[in-house]
Structure 1
Amino acid sequence: MKKKRIVFTGGGSAGHVTPNIAIIRELHKEEWDIFYIGSKKGIEKDLVEKIHIPYYAISSGKLRRYINFENVIDVFRVLKGCLEAKKILQKIKPHIVFSKGGFVSVPVIVAARLLKIPIFIHESDLTPGLANKISKKFATRIFTSFEETVKYFPENKTTYIGSPIRGEIFQGNAKKGTEYLNFNSNLPILTIMGGSLGAKKINETVRDVIKQLTKKYQVVHICGKNNIDHDMYNIRGYKQFEYIHDELADILAATTIVVTRGGSNSIFEFLALKIPMIIIPLTLQQSRGDQILNAKLFAEKGFSVTLEEELLTSKALMANLELVFDKRKEMQSAMNLYSKKDALSFLLNEIGRV
């Protein structure tokens, strides 16, 4: 049987890449040849190369909502990216392009449309990002993580399916996670994640209260690239990492509470694992506000509490941790009532029908 070919695209942050990787891992290699188009320096390059998928880098510009001279330069970068993407797609001749958004996806989608290649898009956030707002007119099918998001896209080609969650995240073993960290079973484990690029204020606040934290918790601190504090290596009950790959499922299986940004993919994974959350979303100065909306909806459903970064202090962090710890059973009960959709299986089925 002749293999089908699929091109994935999306990048700029891990949130635009990990759902693609979840799908890639489940596609049968005997049925599919898989390729990835991303930016030259984005995090997607490192993540995709780790799973040994052919990677093609193109020029891309940042999509800004404010006036900046770089916008003019980026128009030419995007046009160059469209030409590069078209050349790559003409060489690969894929049966489908699947996009998770991010600015690098726009040239790929434009090129795919010119070549009349079917385009599937998945939008993770409550409101669509600028890349997907541009891309929706070119898409063949659009899928969303939130039911409330459907209204932002053409009704005739949009389907609410939930978030495609990595299958391996459910395979974690709490005992292995505890042993990997060299922790014990006497204190609960608190996992702190500032996103794939880290979070300066979260890192600083955690380290300011680490002595208080380690009296009640054993702390796993995933602090982002180049954010390790080498003076804090020998603190008992505190482990810091730039990023965690293979061991993450085991660590999450052992986790009692997680402190996280409000990226959709991450919080849906924690929801699926029924881990109570403190969500510290990116501010409006750092983002378009999508994480704030995600956090608000999760808090309303009883899955988490929200701590705005502008209000993040040592005292506020400790108070919110106490609140979540006391309400953790109640939060898990709310999570149990959540009707989880198997978005990954749905997408695999839809891709297979192309």
Structure 2
Amino acid sequence: MKRILLTGGGSTGHVAVNLALIPHLKRNNWEIHYIGSHNGIERELIEPLEDVQYYPISTGKLRRYFDVNNFKDPFKVIKGIGQAYRILRKVKPDIVFSKGGFVSVPVMLASKLNRTPSITHESDMSPGLANKISMPFASKICVTFPETLKHLPEDKGVLLGSIVREELHEGTRRKGLHFCDFTETKPVILVMGGSQGAKHVNETIRKLAPKLTQKYQIVHLCGKGKVDDSMNIRGYRQFEYVKEELPDILAMTDLVVTRAGSNSIYEFLDLEIPMILIPLPLSQSRGDQIQNAESFEKQGFAEVIQEDDLTEEGLEDLIEKTYENRSKYRKNMQRSEQSNPLEKLYGLLEEYSRR
């Protein structure tokens, strides 16, 4: 039996590929271990899974800007490297697979120190800081966008494409409507602000809810601790996030308003759900979501509105325009040559395990 150690966390995007990969590994009888943080969303999503051993380690965020925690976090990272090293010595995996996020940095360094082969995956068009730091330690670096290859060493880059969880195709519209207490008579808008929520997006949707629910039904995944208990409108349901019910919610969704994280938007592409993308602004990110959104808009999969330009009237008009033209977006998605690359990724893991 082969043994794999997975890592990645900090956001759902840094866990989604691992969640897609785990059922595939189980079917092929791999022993699965996972290193994540103590308090990140990866622990909530991974630890309850059967036949996956979860190990929390110390982790710190490496920032490009000044913050008082910049003086503390390097010591957390050093501690995490020691913890990850000991876990790898104990588990003795045949290979390490990293989805990124700052928890992955100690793991990737520890894999190099243990001489364990490793593969990492970058979803966005330009590599994030954590993956940039980890690249020298990786055997191969898998990417989603062809443009990303120019940022990588020529002998390490592998164009993989989008990875979509198989279970997302297993939902039913009827179950989604029942879960949200919605009717068959109105279309459904899904609003997602990311695992951390999006204050301006959440506020704008809630202000629009009384008007929008005259024509649509809204299911709002607003982020941890972001539920507004004062909202009591028929046809508007809000959750911090959902797990088992997500495939059913996606099955009933006619239009999604979302951030532009690569994993999420490729899932919507695979499910042929028209999108309105509100990428994280430069003030809150390195601009990767803006690049992702521009790529999808250019390919005719989505409409884009920048957060700094977000207004109630502008979003309402864009929702109306996108819904009315939904068949156009779906036709463009059907013509897309994107495909599920799980088999390709699994082949790399097989090839490089204890190479």
Asked whether 1:76 is paired with 2:67, we answer no
Which residue is 1:212 aligned to? 211
Q: How many residues align?
A: 351
Show CA shifts across 1:120-144 (max 9, x none).
Answer: 0010001100011111111001111
Shift of 1:341: 2.3
Shift of 1:29: 5.7
Asked whether 1:146 is paired with 2:136, we answer no
Which residue is 1:311 aligned to? 309
Which residue is 1:117 aligned to? 116
Shift of 1:249: 0.8
**1:229-268 paired onto structure 2 within 5 Å:** 229-233=228-232, 235-268=233-266
SS in 2 for 1:21: helix
**1:85-234 paired onto structure 2 within 5 Å:** 85-233=84-232
User: Amino acid of the residue matched to residue 125 of structure 2?
Assistant: L
Equivalent of residue 298 in structure 2, options 293, 300, 303: 300
The alpha-carbon distance between structure 1 residues 323 and 69, as it changes in their structure 2 partners (threshold 3 A), is: same
| In 2: Cα distance, 1:216 partner to 1:308 partner | 25
Q: For structure 2, list consecutive stretches of 5 or more residues without a partner in the other structure.
A: none
| In 1: Cα distance, 2:64 partner to 2:350 partner | 36
Show CA shifts across 1:213-250 (max 9, x none).
Answer: 101101111111121121223x1111111111111111
Residue pair 1:280, 1:306 contacting (<8 A) in 2 also: yes
Which residue is 1:289 aligned to? 287
| In 2: Cα distance, 1:74 partner to 1:251 partner | 38
Residue pair 1:37, 1:108 contacting (<8 A) in 2 also: yes
SS in 2 for 1:35: strand
Shift of 1:61: 1.4
> Which has the higher mean CA deviation after the structures are superposed, 60-69 or 132-141?
60-69
| In 1: Cα distance, 2:228 partner to 2:65 partner | 35
User: Amino acid of the residue matched to residue 288 of structure 2?
Assistant: D
Which residue is 1:7 aligned to? 5
Which residue is 2:37 aligned to? 39
Give the structure-2-normalised TM-score.
0.96
Asked whether 1:269 is paired with 2:249, we answer no
> Which has the higher mean CA deviation after the structures are superposed, 29-38 or 87-96?
29-38
Shift of 1:265: 0.5
Which residue is 1:320 aligned to? 318
Residue pair 1:16, 1:101 contacting (<8 A) in 2 also: yes
Residue pair 1:124, 1:144 contacting (<8 A) in 2 also: yes
Aligned sequence identity (%): 50
Residue pair 1:161, 1:341 contacting (<8 A) in 2 also: no
| In 1: Cα distance, 2:245 partner to 2:56 partner | 28
| In 1: Cα distance, 2:183 partner to 2:67 partner | 52
SS in 1 for 2:320: helix
Which residue is 1:16 aligned to? 14
| In 1: Cα distance, 2:251 partner to 2:305 partner | 24
SS in 2 for 1:216: coil
SS in 1 for 2:282: coil
Moved over 6 A (4+): none
SS in 2 for 1:259: strand
Shift of 1:30: 6.4
> Which has the higher mean CA deviation after the structures are superposed, 176-185 or 133-142?
176-185
Shift of 1:69: 4.1
Shift of 1:57: 1.2
Show CA shifts across 1:176-217 (max 9, x none).
Answer: 212222212211111111111111111111111111110110
| In 2: Cα distance, 1:244 partner to 1:350 partner | 31
SS in 2 for 1:192: strand
User: Amino acid of the residue matched to residue 223 of structure 2?
Assistant: G
Alignment RMSD (CA, Å): 1.2
The alpha-carbon distance between structure 1 residues 69 and 176, as it changes in their structure 2 partners (threshold 3 A), is: closer
Residue pair 1:40, 1:57 contacting (<8 A) in 2 also: yes
Q: For structure 1, list consecutive stretches of 5 or more residues without a partner in the other structure.
A: none
SS in 2 for 1:110: helix
Shift of 1:342: 2.1
| In 1: Cα distance, 2:101 partner to 2:88 partner | 19
Which residue is 2:46 aligned to? 48
| In 2: Cα distance, 1:308 partner to 1:39 partner | 31
Asked whether 1:26 is paired with 2:24, we answer yes
| In 1: Cα distance, 2:127 partner to 2:270 partner | 22
